[in-house]
Amino acid sequence: MSEDPYGSLDPRGDGRRAVPEASGARALWRGFRKRCPRCGERRIFDGWFRLRSVCPRCSLRFEEEQGGFLGAMTINYGLAFAAWLVVLTAVLVVTAPDVPVPELIGMSVVVLGLVPLWSYPRSKTIWAAIEWLAHRTDPDYKAPGPASGLE
Protein backbone atom coordinates (compact mmCIF):
# COMPACT_ATOMS: atom_id res chain seq x y z
CA MET A 1 0.00 0.00 0.00
CA SER A 2 1.46 3.37 -0.99
CA GLU A 3 1.51 6.33 1.33
CA ASP A 4 -0.88 9.18 0.54
CA PRO A 5 1.32 12.07 -0.73
CA TYR A 6 -1.30 14.59 0.41
CA GLY A 7 -1.97 13.13 3.83
CA SER A 8 0.24 15.69 5.54
CA LEU A 9 -2.01 18.47 4.25
CA ASP A 10 -4.82 17.24 6.52
CA PRO A 11 -3.24 15.68 9.59
CA ARG A 12 -6.57 15.44 11.43
CA GLY A 13 -8.32 13.58 8.60
CA ASP A 14 -11.07 11.99 10.70
CA GLY A 15 -13.83 13.52 8.56
CA ARG A 16 -15.20 15.96 11.17
CA ARG A 17 -15.00 19.59 10.16
CA ALA A 18 -13.26 22.10 12.40
CA VAL A 19 -13.91 24.95 10.00
CA PRO A 20 -16.48 25.22 7.21
CA GLU A 21 -15.11 24.45 3.76
CA ALA A 22 -14.45 27.70 1.92
CA SER A 23 -15.65 28.22 -1.63
CA GLY A 24 -13.08 28.67 -4.38
CA ALA A 25 -13.66 32.42 -4.57
CA ARG A 26 -13.45 32.77 -0.79
CA ALA A 27 -10.21 30.76 -0.64
CA LEU A 28 -8.62 32.94 -3.34
CA TRP A 29 -9.86 36.13 -1.62
CA ARG A 30 -8.32 34.91 1.63
CA GLY A 31 -5.09 34.27 -0.23
CA PHE A 32 -5.10 37.80 -1.62
CA ARG A 33 -5.58 39.12 1.92
CA LYS A 34 -2.58 37.05 3.19
CA ARG A 35 -4.72 34.59 5.14
CA CYS A 36 -4.98 30.82 5.30
CA PRO A 37 -7.17 29.73 2.37
CA ARG A 38 -8.93 27.05 4.40
CA CYS A 39 -9.71 28.75 7.75
CA GLY A 40 -8.90 32.45 7.23
CA GLU A 41 -6.21 32.61 9.95
CA ARG A 42 -4.18 35.85 9.83
CA ARG A 43 -1.04 34.75 11.71
CA ILE A 44 0.52 32.68 8.94
CA PHE A 45 3.60 34.86 8.30
CA ASP A 46 6.75 35.28 10.38
CA GLY A 47 7.66 38.67 8.94
CA TRP A 48 6.95 39.99 5.46
CA PHE A 49 8.77 37.32 3.43
CA ARG A 50 8.51 34.15 5.53
CA LEU A 51 5.35 32.07 5.30
CA ARG A 52 4.98 29.51 8.10
CA SER A 53 5.05 25.92 6.93
CA VAL A 54 1.75 25.09 8.65
CA CYS A 55 -1.31 27.14 9.58
CA PRO A 56 -1.42 27.59 13.37
CA ARG A 57 -5.21 27.22 13.41
CA CYS A 58 -6.17 24.42 10.99
CA SER A 59 -2.74 22.80 10.39
CA LEU A 60 -2.94 23.21 6.61
CA ARG A 61 0.52 22.58 5.24
CA PHE A 62 1.37 25.40 2.82
CA GLU A 63 4.30 23.94 0.89
CA GLU A 64 3.91 20.25 0.10
CA GLU A 65 7.31 19.81 -1.52
CA GLN A 66 10.58 21.64 -2.03
CA GLY A 67 10.16 24.21 -4.79
CA GLY A 68 6.38 24.06 -4.49
CA PHE A 69 6.05 27.82 -4.86
CA LEU A 70 7.06 28.08 -8.51
CA GLY A 71 3.43 28.98 -9.18
CA ALA A 72 3.69 31.79 -6.62
CA MET A 73 6.70 33.17 -8.46
CA THR A 74 4.68 33.13 -11.67
CA ILE A 75 1.79 34.97 -10.00
CA ASN A 76 4.20 37.55 -8.58
CA TYR A 77 5.81 38.10 -11.98
CA GLY A 78 2.38 38.34 -13.64
CA LEU A 79 1.14 40.96 -11.18
CA ALA A 80 4.29 43.05 -11.63
CA PHE A 81 4.07 42.79 -15.41
CA ALA A 82 0.36 43.72 -15.39
CA ALA A 83 1.06 46.79 -13.21
CA TRP A 84 3.90 47.81 -15.53
CA LEU A 85 1.64 47.45 -18.58
CA VAL A 86 -0.94 49.74 -16.96
CA VAL A 87 1.74 52.39 -16.28
CA LEU A 88 3.23 52.02 -19.77
CA THR A 89 -0.18 52.30 -21.45
CA ALA A 90 -1.18 55.32 -19.37
CA VAL A 91 2.08 57.13 -20.13
CA LEU A 92 1.85 56.36 -23.85
CA VAL A 93 -1.80 57.47 -24.07
CA VAL A 94 -1.14 60.72 -22.19
CA THR A 95 2.18 61.71 -23.78
CA ALA A 96 2.15 60.32 -27.33
CA PRO A 97 3.76 61.22 -29.69
CA ASP A 98 6.43 62.85 -27.46
CA VAL A 99 7.07 60.00 -24.98
CA PRO A 100 9.41 61.03 -22.11
CA VAL A 101 11.72 57.98 -22.24
CA PRO A 102 13.91 58.75 -19.19
CA GLU A 103 10.84 59.34 -17.01
CA LEU A 104 9.19 56.20 -18.37
CA ILE A 105 12.30 54.16 -17.55
CA GLY A 106 12.32 55.62 -14.03
CA MET A 107 8.66 54.78 -13.49
CA SER A 108 9.28 51.28 -14.86
CA VAL A 109 12.12 50.70 -12.40
CA VAL A 110 9.94 51.88 -9.52
CA VAL A 111 6.92 49.78 -10.55
CA LEU A 112 8.96 46.66 -11.30
CA GLY A 113 10.82 47.08 -8.00
CA LEU A 114 7.94 47.87 -5.63
CA VAL A 115 5.08 45.77 -6.97
CA PRO A 116 6.91 42.43 -6.54
CA LEU A 117 7.82 43.39 -2.96
CA TRP A 118 4.20 44.23 -2.19
CA SER A 119 2.76 41.18 -3.94
CA TYR A 120 5.31 38.59 -2.73
CA PRO A 121 3.40 37.41 0.37
CA ARG A 122 0.09 37.60 -1.47
CA SER A 123 1.39 35.50 -4.34
CA LYS A 124 2.46 32.81 -1.86
CA THR A 125 -0.94 32.70 -0.17
CA ILE A 126 -2.83 32.87 -3.48
CA TRP A 127 -0.74 29.91 -4.69
CA ALA A 128 -1.40 28.08 -1.40
CA ALA A 129 -5.13 28.63 -2.04
CA ILE A 130 -4.83 27.26 -5.58
CA GLU A 131 -2.92 24.20 -4.32
CA TRP A 132 -5.47 23.61 -1.57
CA LEU A 133 -8.38 23.94 -3.98
CA ALA A 134 -6.72 21.45 -6.33
CA HIS A 135 -5.99 19.07 -3.46
CA ARG A 136 -9.57 19.35 -2.26
CA THR A 137 -10.79 17.75 -5.51
CA ASP A 138 -8.94 14.53 -4.64
CA PRO A 139 -11.49 11.79 -3.86
CA ASP A 140 -9.47 10.83 -0.75
CA TYR A 141 -9.55 14.38 0.64
CA LYS A 142 -10.79 14.67 4.21
CA ALA A 143 -11.73 17.95 5.82
CA PRO A 144 -9.78 18.83 8.97
CA GLY A 145 -11.01 17.49 12.27
CA PRO A 146 -11.76 19.57 15.34
CA ALA A 147 -9.03 21.69 16.85
CA SER A 148 -9.03 23.70 20.02
CA GLY A 149 -11.29 26.73 19.74
CA LEU A 150 -12.60 25.93 16.26
CA GLU A 151 -15.94 24.28 17.06
pTM over 0.85: no
Per-state percent for the chain, helix, strand, coil, to nearest 5: 50, 5, 50
pLDDT in tens, 49-99: 899 989 998 888 887 667 778 889 999 999 999 999 999 999 999 998 999
- Output the DSSP codes for 56-78: TTT--BS--STTTTHHHHHHHHH
pLDDT at residue 125, rounded to an integer: 92
Structure-model confidence comparison of residues 146 and 59, the more confident one = 59
Q: Which long-range contacts (CB under 8 A, 24 or more apart) does 105-113 make?
A: 108/84, 111/80, 111/83, 111/84, 111/87, 112/80, 112/84
Domain extents for the chain? 10-136
pLDDT in tens, 104-142: 999 999 999 999 999 999 999 999 999 888 888 877 766
